[in-house]
Chains A and B, each alone.
Chain A
Amino acid sequence: MDHDEFKGGDGRFPATRWSVITAVRGEDGAERERALDTLCEAYWKPVYKYVRLRWNRAAPDAQDLTQGFFAEMLERELLKRFDARKSRLRTYLRLCVDSFVMNEDKAAHRQKRGGDVQHLALDFAGAEEELSSGTIDAAAIASPESLEEFFETEWVRSLFALAVEDLRALCAERARERDFQLFEAYDLGDDGEISYAQLAQQYGIAVGDVTNALAWARREFRKFALDRLRAMCGSDDEFRRETKTAFGWNTA
């Protein structure tokens, strides 16, 4: 795969064809930082939850390890060693986390991060809340396959959550807050089923408007998710495989 295919882009959202893998290997320091930000944004929660459950660590310890892992990724330039032909980025990062935690244990000299390393502002409290919401069964993720599956599920959750935030920002920018509210109520709500007609009545609009708003929001959501995904893949092939995984598309 020729990484030159991916071109850099500016703006709030990752532009199509922009890749963290290319950026992190590039000479441009600002681009490198942006690449690591993008990666950290999508992966910190899966990494944190994974350390909590796979390595059975208490919350403060897992927080420390998560911070440490991303600091190490930056210090040791782990992404430069990633080979898209050999594995998916997601699998590579998970194995890096395993290796990092084991090394930290072996050396037994882990120091509290925070002195010479800049802390990331990560919402650990939110992640803890998700872990304790009862949706994750730690006992069910004992095997290596289920660990991979768990990491994958959390990665999809994180990716989709970021795409939802992108959509929220876009709606605010274009004064389409109502469309986001409709999307939130219909596609993200957990309080039972709600029909298009009920939504139309609730917002005092036609059912057709609800249909159009939801179609637009889903299209934009999909676009954001794919853009973020594309940015975090090392090749077109990986992007296709990861898209299928993220959206649950199984080929015949």
Chain B
Amino acid sequence: MSAESVPKHPMRHLSDKAITRLRSGAELADLNGTRYRLIGQVARGGMGVVYAAEDQLLQRRVALKVLDVSGSEGELANRLMREARVLALLEHPGIVPVHEVGTLADGSVFYTMKFVEGKRLDQHIESVDSTPDRLRIFVRICDAVAFAHDRGVLHRDLKPANVMVGPFGEVLVMDWGLAKILADVSGAEPNRDGDSIPRLPADGNDGNSSGTLHGRVMGTPGYMSPEQASGKIELMDARSDIFSLGAILRYLLTERLPAGPSSQRARALDAICAKACALEREDRYAAVQDLAADVSRYLDGLAVSAHRESIFDKLARFYRQYRFFIWLIAAYLLMRVLLIVVVKH
């Protein structure tokens, strides 16, 4: 160490006020040289910050996500870039569309997407008192996730905070930063309907390209599948997302619900949750569509695959489904009986 290491200019003392000001000045993204004008910060996540910005060319509001540390290289920049590419691949009404990817003047990677006005699911459900309404939201989440799985993409961080519900009831699955590409197919291949599906190169089991190393846990406790929580990423597949969806369903059925479903009905929903959240992957639903179909069947008053009904359960469900007609027929029969009795006397 040498004495010359000390700066020739005496180091300035910064007051607490100056530190606060420097922090707030450094926090805002510098959008100089882009077509966007900063409006304000919307949210801060584990990887970066989301700002509301105005696209000055198209004169519309967009959400701009940028890494909170500068640099266009490294694991985080790759992850952000990858997230944008995943979003671009997943064109679905339940997934927020991405507009542009770029680099800011300080080298930070950013992308812009549709600005979603609405509330996070965990905030939105406070105003949804009915179980069927909550289940309909859940089915729409499943639709978006099923679409992603069909495109070979796992979300891996599904939770209420990553779902937005818009003012017109639109349901959007957000934050694909931990997404993993499953399908090892580059270029395009036809889907079931014969349309061409663009795909991203798959992540290896080491997961380096998406920043997930074996043994490293990424996700949210309470919503992570056991294989994800234990860092066994090579075991993760669509059923890992199904576990998270099951946890979301359970959350929707218990969180701030003024009146839960009747005990018999709750058994069917409990069975759906239990099957989705089974510890062993083999015991869960094989596909998100199956989970959504079970919930839809429940909404339609039909038997669900996860719950084996007794004869009494079947009768009770039959009664619930056709009670109007049952009462109508009963009333008709009663009237006939009364009529016969009156005529005989």
A252 and B23 contact, Cβ closer than 8 Å, known pairs A188-B18, A226-B69, A236-B75: no
**Within 8 Å CB of B83, what residues of A?**
none
| Residue of A whose beta carbon sits closest to that of B107 | A223
**Within 8 Å CB of A4, what residues of B?**
none
A188 and B14 contact, Cβ closer than 8 Å, known pairs A40-B1, A157-B19, A252-B43: yes
A41 contacts B by Cβ under 8 Å:
yes
B2 contacts A by Cβ under 8 Å:
yes
Q: Are A190 and B15 in contact (CB under 8 A)?
A: yes
Q: Are B11 and A162 in contact (CB under 8 A)?
A: yes
B191 contacts A by Cβ under 8 Å:
no
B190 contacts A by Cβ under 8 Å:
no
Q: Shortest distance in angstroms between A25's beta carbon and chain B's nearest beta carbon?
A: 16
B187 contacts A by Cβ under 8 Å:
no
How many residues does chain B have at the interface if contact means C-beta atoms less than 8 Å apart? Answer: 41
**Within 8 Å CB of A41, what residues of B?**
5-7
| Residue of A whose beta carbon sits closest to that of B71 | A16
A77 contacts B by Cβ under 8 Å:
no
**Within 8 Å CB of B49, what residues of A?**
249
A120 contacts B by Cβ under 8 Å:
yes
A129 contacts B by Cβ under 8 Å:
yes
- Please provide the chain A residues from 80 to 132 with a CB less than 8 Å away from any CB of chain B in the complex: 118-123, 126, 129-130
A219 contacts B by Cβ under 8 Å:
yes
A40 to B3, CA, bound (A): 11
Q: Are A243 and B69 in contact (CB under 8 A)?
A: yes
Contact with B along A218-252 (1 / 0, CB 8 A): 11011101100000000010011001100111111
A250 to B45, CA, bound (A): 8
A138 contacts B by Cβ under 8 Å:
no
- Please provide the chain B residues from 53 to 68 with a CB less than 8 Å away from any CB of chain A in the complex: 68
A142 contacts B by Cβ under 8 Å:
no
A252 to B74, CA, bound (A): 23
B344 contacts A by Cβ under 8 Å:
no
**Within 8 Å CB of B345, what residues of A?**
none
Q: Shortest distance in angstroms between B283's beta carbon and chain A's nearest beta carbon?
A: 33
A202 contacts B by Cβ under 8 Å:
no
Which of B9, B22, B71 has a CB less than 8 Å from the CB of A165? B9
B194 contacts A by Cβ under 8 Å:
no
How many residues does chain A have at the interface if contact means C-beta atoms less than 8 Å apart? Answer: 58
Q: Shortest distance in angstroms between A4's beta carbon and chain B's nearest beta carbon?
A: 14
A248 and B13 contact, Cβ closer than 8 Å, known pairs A74-B1, A165-B7, A243-B69: no
- Please provide the chain B residues from 1 to 37 with a CB less than 8 Å away from any CB of chain A in the complex: 1-7, 9-19, 21-23, 25-27, 30, 32
A223 to B26, CA, bound (A): 9
A156 contacts B by Cβ under 8 Å:
yes
A36 and B25 contact, Cβ closer than 8 Å, known pairs A133-B13, A135-B16, A188-B18: no
A207 to B32, CA, bound (A): 16
A161 to B11, CA, bound (A): 6
A70 contacts B by Cβ under 8 Å:
yes
A149 contacts B by Cβ under 8 Å:
no
A215 contacts B by Cβ under 8 Å:
yes
Not counting A188-B14, A222-B70, a sample of 16 additional A-B residue pairs whose C-beta atoms are within 8 angstroms of each other reads A33-B1, A33-B2, A37-B2, A37-B5, A70-B1, A121-B6, A126-B13, A157-B19, A160-B18, A187-B25, A223-B106, A226-B69, A240-B76, A243-B69, A247-B68, A249-B27
Per CB-CB distance, the 5 closest pairs between chain A and chain B, nearest first, are A37-B5, A121-B3, A222-B26, A218-B25, A121-B6
Binding site for A on B (CB under 8 A): 1-7, 9-19, 21-23, 25-27, 30, 32, 43-46, 49, 68-71, 74-76, 105-106, 161
Can you list 21 residue pairs at the A/B interface with Cβ under 8 Å?
Answer: A40-B5, A41-B7, A71-B1, A120-B1, A121-B4, A122-B6, A123-B11, A129-B13, A135-B15, A160-B18, A188-B14, A188-B22, A189-B18, A218-B26, A218-B30, A219-B105, A219-B106, A225-B26, A236-B76, A240-B69, A249-B44
